[in-house]
Chain A
């Protein structure tokens, strides 16, 4: 069927682009608010102060507990030091993080979104500043509806100044993870820090100020992929912030409900006060059910509990509940106990434990000495004046210890091999011994010669073995020896 323009072009009266509806979240006291304040202090505390935590590793090593040293290409995390080729530990960490997100979702929906996500935490902090400067919901709505005067202007000025200060500190803390924090702080205040540090502080100041000050819930609604994935991952046993409509409906004013109840007619607990909507940081009406825009922060639970206490009805008209119980109550069946332990959560926990176990095993057993060998491609071999054959290799030694080490280089599975390496003088038994600096690698050109009577025609498999002269720890790399 081809579209027929005559029939199919009724004008679109609804706009194609929607203006944002300004949200004025109201402050609220309660259990979940307390949890959120605690988590805010803990997570921001970690973020802002972790770079200053010290950790002793060795004389030549950085003393910062958590440090991403891009210049030296090392990542330090307390007792763990990661080299670039070990980036799979980061992959493992990300896999575990994803599984943890799934597990949170299987247990209680958007725990991450509501309590832990940086967007939520910083927005919460910015809203606190907003309330401090301009007052609560009603004050802000009133002031915004009036033309700006000196007082409201100065209040706004204070708010934006404080926002920028927090945003600037956020960017400032970020760069401290990439260099020695106390040194960088000194350099920053004396204007000696590298340009890139100032640039990153500027970028993060801008993003924090914009995202937490202005974008707020729009980040969750328009930008973040997790709400979409979360909606697809959730199941009927997962706890979610839920309006218990079986208890709340029919809703109505307190007076009306009292009258209904007195006459023995059905009456809901919801007094339709709108407090759950007023406190919501994303401006949704939880009574419409689970929705994409709801970050499940639990503030509506606090708001509703406060109202229920005042009107003398049981609390948790809004609370963490499962889809299956909502459905069962609607059918008049008894509630099921919440099943936190179920195949889905067990599988996630199992995978997380397996991931951690694998990484811990890898970290505990990884070598502190490494060797890599690369055969010269051209020429594959050279003939020597005495008729012998020589192959050349590029050998790289890795010393992951915080001390200088003497590494002897030997070749196995090759009769009569004589070794030479520029920069690695021959030791007592004629074996080249290289000195590799602490936490460094060393590249050597290794020459392996075999006399005429020992050389076997063709290619043979050999092992290049590096051995710590003092401890005996060794590492090997396989390669070939080629003769005509």
Chain B
């Protein structure tokens, strides 16, 4: 046991020391206020309250739930419900307004674009890119070229029912595999390719043989001049935009094996209001036609 001596006093300050010394330096005893100590006790009592009301102790397969039954999942759910409540007014306005009216009202437009942007990031970006820039085989939604129409209503239709998605109202029509089916011979495909590249302005030499193949096989969908047909999703072959590439090999590949990528139908997966917002977002991305 320690001896009870008289307290040592620091000569310089006249303050008693605690008796602790390190390398000749002594610790002064400057007493803390009592309430400070009581605050410490109060925090200990407070912590017991935590054990009681919040999940705290791990058990073998479970944990103590606490009397408030709080969970982080529950808190998120609550916040999501609050968010829905907060958005309810604008959501309701969007569900009631027509697409054209939404785009005319700056407030609705801004809300729809924000909502659409989030939905786009969650659902569309994996194929079409985060900014809608697309990729080979996945259409760019920011440019001004549309396979099935770039009006708000056309986009709404495409998003809702998809393309070759299996939905009864889906957009149908695909590029046949002329080579694989044996409809066209290799030389005919090559000639038709030369003609297409000629009307697109990519190749200066006309191909009369190809023009004949085109008129017999392609013009039905792509039009006599190759300007395409929105009803059938047949692309305009004379503009500067090529979904699968404009080099000869790519076009030959398309003619030989056909084209027919799938866009899923989003009805049933997304609620109608979100699809509307998504439509407005895509329509105002840059490619929106009348």
Which B residues lie within 8 Å of A377 (CB)?
130-131
Residues A390 and B142 in contact, CB atoms below 8 Å apart = yes
* Least Cβ–Cβ distance between B113 and chain A, in angstroms: 7
Residues A11 and B4 in contact, CB atoms below 8 Å apart = yes
Contact of A385 among B22, B142, B144 (CB under 8 A): B144
7 contacts between A and B (CB under 8 A): A9-B19, A11-B7, A13-B16, A18-B31, A18-B34, A385-B144, A392-B142
Residues B106 and A379 in contact, CB atoms below 8 Å apart = no
Which A residues lie within 8 Å of B12 (CB)?
none
A456 at the interface (CB under 8 A from B): no
Kindly specify which of A66-74, A200-208, A439-447 makes contact with the partner chain: A439-447
Which B residues lie within 8 Å of A13 (CB)?
4, 6-7, 16
Residues A20 and B7 in contact, CB atoms below 8 Å apart = no
Kindly specify which of B53-61, B233-241, B260-268 makes contact with the partner chain: B233-241
User: With A12-B18, A14-B31 in contact, is A383–B143 under 8 Å at CB?
Assistant: yes
Residues B6 and A10 in contact, CB atoms below 8 Å apart = yes
Residues A1 and B7 in contact, CB atoms below 8 Å apart = no
Residues B33 and A20 in contact, CB atoms below 8 Å apart = yes
Which B residues lie within 8 Å of A1 (CB)?
23-24
B68 at the interface (CB under 8 A from A): no
A365 at the interface (CB under 8 A from B): no
Taking beta carbons and an 8 Å cutoff, which residues of A are in contact with B? 1, 3, 5, 8-20, 218, 222, 376-379, 382-387, 390, 392, 422-423, 435, 442-443, 445, 447, 452
* Least Cβ–Cβ distance between A260 and chain B, in angstroms: 29
* Least Cβ–Cβ distance between B150 and chain A, in angstroms: 11
**A422→B286 CA distance, assembly (Å):** 9
Residues A385 and B145 in contact, CB atoms below 8 Å apart = yes
Which B residues lie within 8 Å of A14 (CB)?
7, 16, 29, 31
* Least Cβ–Cβ distance between B222 and chain A, in angstroms: 15
Residue of A nearest to B21 (CB): A8
**A390→B133 CA distance, assembly (Å):** 12
B35 at the interface (CB under 8 A from A): yes
B43 at the interface (CB under 8 A from A): no
Residue of B nearest to A7 (CB): B21
* Known interface pairs A379-B129, A390-B142; 17 further A-B residue pairs with C-beta atoms within 8 A, sorted by A's residue number: A10-B2, A10-B8, A11-B7, A12-B7, A12-B16, A14-B16, A17-B33, A19-B34, A379-B131, A379-B132, A379-B133, A379-B140, A382-B143, A384-B143, A385-B241, A423-B109, A447-B286
User: With A376-B131, A384-B240 in contact, is A10–B109 under 8 Å at CB?
Assistant: no
Contact of B103 among A12, A18, A20, A422 (CB under 8 A): A422
* Least Cβ–Cβ distance between A409 and chain B, in angstroms: 14
The 6 closest A-B pairs by CB, nearest first: A379-B133, A385-B239, A10-B5, A18-B31, A378-B131, A422-B284
Contact with A along B14-40 (1 / 0, CB 8 A): 001011111110000101111111000
User: With A3-B22, A20-B34, A422-B103 in contact, is A12–B286 under 8 Å at CB?
Assistant: no
User: With A17-B33, A20-B35, A379-B129 in contact, is A8–B20 under 8 Å at CB?
Assistant: yes
- Tell me which residues from 132 to 147 in chain B have a Cβ below 8 Å from any Cβ of chain A: 132-134, 140, 142-145
**A382→B241 CA distance, assembly (Å):** 10
Residues B4 and A10 in contact, CB atoms below 8 Å apart = yes
* Least Cβ–Cβ distance between B265 and chain A, in angstroms: 26
Residues B106 and A12 in contact, CB atoms below 8 Å apart = no
A interface: dominant SS:
loop
Which A residues lie within 8 Å of B113 (CB)?
422, 445
Which B residues lie within 8 Å of A8 (CB)?
19-21
**A186→B34 CA distance, assembly (Å):** 43
Which A residues lie within 8 Å of B72 (CB)?
none
B149 at the interface (CB under 8 A from A): no
* Least Cβ–Cβ distance between A398 and chain B, in angstroms: 15
User: With A11-B5, A390-B142, A392-B286 in contact, is A16–B32 under 8 Å at CB?
Assistant: yes
Residue of A nearest to B284 (CB): A422
Residue of A nearest to B8 (CB): A10
Which B residues lie within 8 Å of A19 (CB)?
33-34
**A382→B285 CA distance, assembly (Å):** 11
B151 at the interface (CB under 8 A from A): no
Which A residues lie within 8 Å of B106 (CB)?
423, 435, 442
**A8→B2 CA distance, assembly (Å):** 9
**A452→B236 CA distance, assembly (Å):** 18
**A344→B34 CA distance, assembly (Å):** 40
**A25→B143 CA distance, assembly (Å):** 80
User: With A1-B24, A17-B32, A378-B131 in contact, is A390–B16 under 8 Å at CB?
Assistant: no
Residues A9 and B2 in contact, CB atoms below 8 Å apart = yes
B110 at the interface (CB under 8 A from A): yes
Residue of A nearest to B9 (CB): A14
**A393→B5 CA distance, assembly (Å):** 80
Contact with A along B248-290 (1 / 0, CB 8 A): 0000000000000000000000000000000000001110100
Contact with A along B95-106 (1 / 0, CB 8 A): 000000001001
Residue of B nearest to A449 (CB): B144
Residue of A nearest to B109 (CB): A423
Which A residues lie within 8 Å of B18 (CB)?
12, 16
* Least Cβ–Cβ distance between B24 and chain A, in angstroms: 7
Which A residues lie within 8 Å of B23 (CB)?
1
Contact with A along B198-228 (1 / 0, CB 8 A): 0000000000000000000000000000000
Which B residues lie within 8 Å of A385 (CB)?
143-145, 236, 239-241
Which B residues lie within 8 Å of A423 (CB)?
103, 106, 109-110, 284
B13 at the interface (CB under 8 A from A): no
* Least Cβ–Cβ distance between B103 and chain A, in angstroms: 7
B3 at the interface (CB under 8 A from A): yes
Residue of B nearest to A434 (CB): B106
Residues A382 and B286 in contact, CB atoms below 8 Å apart = yes
**A376→B131 CA distance, assembly (Å):** 8
Contact of B3 among A10, A15, A443 (CB under 8 A): A10
Residue of A nearest to B238 (CB): A385
Residues A382 and B142 in contact, CB atoms below 8 Å apart = yes
Which A residues lie within 8 Å of B239 (CB)?
385-386
Residue of B nearest to A442 (CB): B106
* Least Cβ–Cβ distance between A445 and chain B, in angstroms: 6
**A281→B196 CA distance, assembly (Å):** 97
Which B residues lie within 8 Å of A379 (CB)?
129, 131-134, 140, 142
Residues A382 and B133 in contact, CB atoms below 8 Å apart = yes
**A379→B29 CA distance, assembly (Å):** 68
Which A residues lie within 8 Å of B130 (CB)?
377-378
* Least Cβ–Cβ distance between A455 and chain B, in angstroms: 12
**A376→B130 CA distance, assembly (Å):** 10
**A443→B110 CA distance, assembly (Å):** 8
**A383→B286 CA distance, assembly (Å):** 11
Contact with A along B170-207 (1 / 0, CB 8 A): 00000000000000000000000000000000000000
* Least Cβ–Cβ distance between A87 and chain B, in angstroms: 25
Which A residues lie within 8 Å of B5 (CB)?
10-11
